[in-house]
């Protein structure tokens, strides 16, 4: 889905985000209770704060075919990753039945364990793809994310200097990106990364793990500049911003997992409460909060004209 901000009576898109579902919740409650989290790049939220923006909106697709902007929410709901060099922010926000969205399960992330399970390392040149906002064609009545295909240009052998002025543990991905793609998920097709042609048709569940696609990470930023270091120094910064070098930082999926740690205690508390009844999640109020709060209640959810949930 797309993030947006209000300006002069209009809402403008400003970045991409996607849902993950933490199926590794305490006491194996994942079968019934699956906390959902919205994920984006932290610098998208940081830039809004630097501009003095106090609230943000999200544009969701509905199963009826159109998209709606939800009511503005406090920007303070986002929790930035505790690691200063990790460009990830997370918002706890449930996915309602009326929304045409799904969460990507944390068990389908690329991790050290998944690499062993799939019998496949992540390698240079592996084909990957991202899904996110191309703002010139965001969709008039419905979110229309675009798919961009690239390759792993550099592995995590050495930390990379980023636009945020930090050295970060990231993949480099060869793919042209624009600002709206920040926060987009990046996936790898585990099957096609290892096999080609007729071999794909012969795959059985015993060869690979339970997932064909895994989340490699999220897009942080793309590089701008000239083709060589000396030329870069001679070009004005404003002009450098126009030169896309076709290489993108990708924050690894395991960093997103560690970003969920601040939510662990709340999950444990909610898991215990869940045994006593149903859970609904409030959205749409603009009061400062670190995340969206779950409550026990018997309620009927409906969408208003603005997309706001009511109980």
H, E, C per residue of 188-242: EEHHHHHCCCHHHHCCCCCCCCCCCEEEEEEEEEEEECCCCHHHHHCCCHHHHCC
CA distance 55 to 62: 22
Q: Among the listed ranges 34-43, 141-150, 291-300, which one has the minimum average pLDDT value?
A: 291-300
The CATH number for 2-310, chosen from 3.40.50.300, 2.40.110.10, 2.40.10.10, 1.10.1510.10, is 2.40.10.10
Q: How many C-beta atoms surround the C-beta of residue 296 within 10 A? A: 13
Q: Lowest mean pLDDT: which of 98-107, 161-170, 295-304?
A: 295-304
For residue 251, what are its two tokens? 């924050």
CA distance linking residue 83 with residue 87, whole number of Å:
9
For the cut 60, the answer to whether the pLDDT of residue 282 exceeds it is no
Task: Look up the pTM and report it.
Answer: 0.77
pLDDT of 296: 24
- Write the pLDDT tens digit of every residue in 125-141: 999 999 999 888 989 99
Q: Which one-letter DSSP state was computed for residue 124?
A: T
Q: Are 190 and 214 in contact (CB under 8 A)?
A: yes
Residue 96 clears pLDDT 50, i.e. is over it: yes
Confidence of residue 195 (pLDDT cuts 50, 70, 90): low
| pLDDT reported for residue 180 | 78
pLDDT number for residue 56: 95
**Over the stretch 201-246, which tens digit does the pLDDT of each residue have?**
454 444 445 678 999 999 998 776 555 656 666 667 666 666 657 7
- What are 203-208's contacts with CB under 8 Å, separation 24+? 207/119, 208/118, 208/119, 208/120
Q: Is the dihedral of CA 123, 213, 281, 134 positive or negative?
A: positive
Residue 284 in this model has a pLDDT that exceeds 50:
no
């Amino acid at each position: 889905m797309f993030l947006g901000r209000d300006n002069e009576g209009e809402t403008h898109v400003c970045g991409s985000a996607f849902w993950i579902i933490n199926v590794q919740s305490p006491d194996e409650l994942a079968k019934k209770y699956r906390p959902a989290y919205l994920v984006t790049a932290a610098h998208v939220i940081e830039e809004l704060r630097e501009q003095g923006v106090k609230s943000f909106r999200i544009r969701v697709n509905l199963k009826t075919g159109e998209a709606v902007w939800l009511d503005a929410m406090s920007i303070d709901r986002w929790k930035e990753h505790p690691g200063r060099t990790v460009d990830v922010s997370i918002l706890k926000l449930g996915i309602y039945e009326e929304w045409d969205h799904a969460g990507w399960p944390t068990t389908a992330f690329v991790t050290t364990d998944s690499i062993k399970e799939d019998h496949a390392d992540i390698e240079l040149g592996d084909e990957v793809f991202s899904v996110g906002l191309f703002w010139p064609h965001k969709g008039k009545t419905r979110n229309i994310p675009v798919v961009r295909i690239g390759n792993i240009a550099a592995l995590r052998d050495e930390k990379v200097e980023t636009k945020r002025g930090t050295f970060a543990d990231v993949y480099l991905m060869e793919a042209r990106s624009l600002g709206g793609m920040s926060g987009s998920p990046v996936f790898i097709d585990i099957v096609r990364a290892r096999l080609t042609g007729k071999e794909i048709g012969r795959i059985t569940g015993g060869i690979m793990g339970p997932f064909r696609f895994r989340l490699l990470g999220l897009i942080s930023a793309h590089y701008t500049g000239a083709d060589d270091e000396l030329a870069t120094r001679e070009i004005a910064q404003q002009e450098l911003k126009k030169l896309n070098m076709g290489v993108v930082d990708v924050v690894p999926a395991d960093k997103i997992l560690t970003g969920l740690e601040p939510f662990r205690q709340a999950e444990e508390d909610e898991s215990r409460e869940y045994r006593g009844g149903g859970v609904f999640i409030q959205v749409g109020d603009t009061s400062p909060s670190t995340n969206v709060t779950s409550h026990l209640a018997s309620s009927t959810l409906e969408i208003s004209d603005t997309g706001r949930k009511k109980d």
